[in-house]
Structure 1
């Protein structure tokens, strides 16, 4: 059965409000990106303990830790980033999730992706090794600004690591914003390694974010293909409907609820069972 989760920090910074909102929507999982306006990797130990108690009290579990790992440049201080990776791994273990979202290093017009490839794989491999040592899997998101922005490079990364340690997040909106059609152009490359899905959409004409099914994300085709391929994982709502930023986004409760309702409509139309 497929399971709905989401980024509740797009509703409010206050973690209690996030949990109340998810419960009001009947959603039992959260992809934890931030609490009280603090990114998850910057939380203190006492804050993490408080979060765990609040999650338990609310009856909500963590589908994945929505970290910012890998959102640095290759010429940034990597030793510091490895320490950040260790702390993120500790948080994921304590919050009882086996999945950790990350990226593959910022690139810009100065960078030649092919020339950077070996360094990306080496550094990402060090991070994956840390995460895997705690039996947690590194989930790579195909964001437009990172090395693994294209389906071909995502597939390349997935081929470098065992599936138990590394998997791909399928984010259709991010592909659209990179000029790639998610089902017809991306999915053939990433289908074998996709193990988590982010739910949002975008329009090719202007890269504007919209709810799933309202843009060029080919959501009906993707859902049918995922079902036929035996997908059995999370659908994590990440609306970005009011604001999209490098390290997060915001939607508000009404827009988030609309994104949730749009996903339910798509799943019902496809005859897919979910919780």
Structure 2
């Protein structure tokens, strides 16, 4: 494994104001060798790291992405880039919920960009724990997935607006969220949410309908048969879940008020989809259980 570290410093990064910027990047290269996938190269700047690779199911490389500060303040920008070489097998997750705190007086945005590229017949699972968007945050979340021929992907994005369990609503602030997936250069899935607190999008039935928790699971890499869709719908009995498929992209969505319900349902959906898509049973990352 090759590891590099760079330190970036600028006047804006050291000061305050509308142009403040605190950057962190993580670049991963995953390569199969023999019967295992190895972390061939790791490069990072700022407070983004990974724990050592784990192999709880043989050849699949499990990686835990760490952000030691634990949350994003105004000016923070996390950039996570992972490339899976041909025939690699990788699972990426996080040890805890991500947090986007309230913005500063200049309203400087804070956010995260995730870019995953998979070469021919590579496999990747992007399964982070949820993101909590605090009241008065100015959050920007962007996920891009690019698949080459035969590549397979499962991933999700789970979001909680405010802290409803503590009685704190998302009454001020904004969230920009985008999820895009390409197959061989063709855009198959393109979704963007541009949400301002207390807007029509926030309250209307055509939007979030006053709900604070939502999530999307995306799976792509094979044509999912109707039996799987029926099984998913039978297992996810809450009306907060929906299951659809279009252009070979399987979507499981949640819109409701309970992150525990959302998380548990997504874990169950993943356990049902994984054997069909990747040919192996679910192997729960142990960090989820600690």
Q: Give the TM-score band, short-chain normalised.
A: 0.3 to 0.5
* Structure of greater relative contact order (alpha carbons < 8 Å, 6+ residues apart): 1
Considering fraction of residues, name the structure with more helix: 1
| Structure with a larger share of its residues in strand | 2
TM-score by length of 1: 0.34
TM-score normalised to the size of structure 2? Answer: 0.33
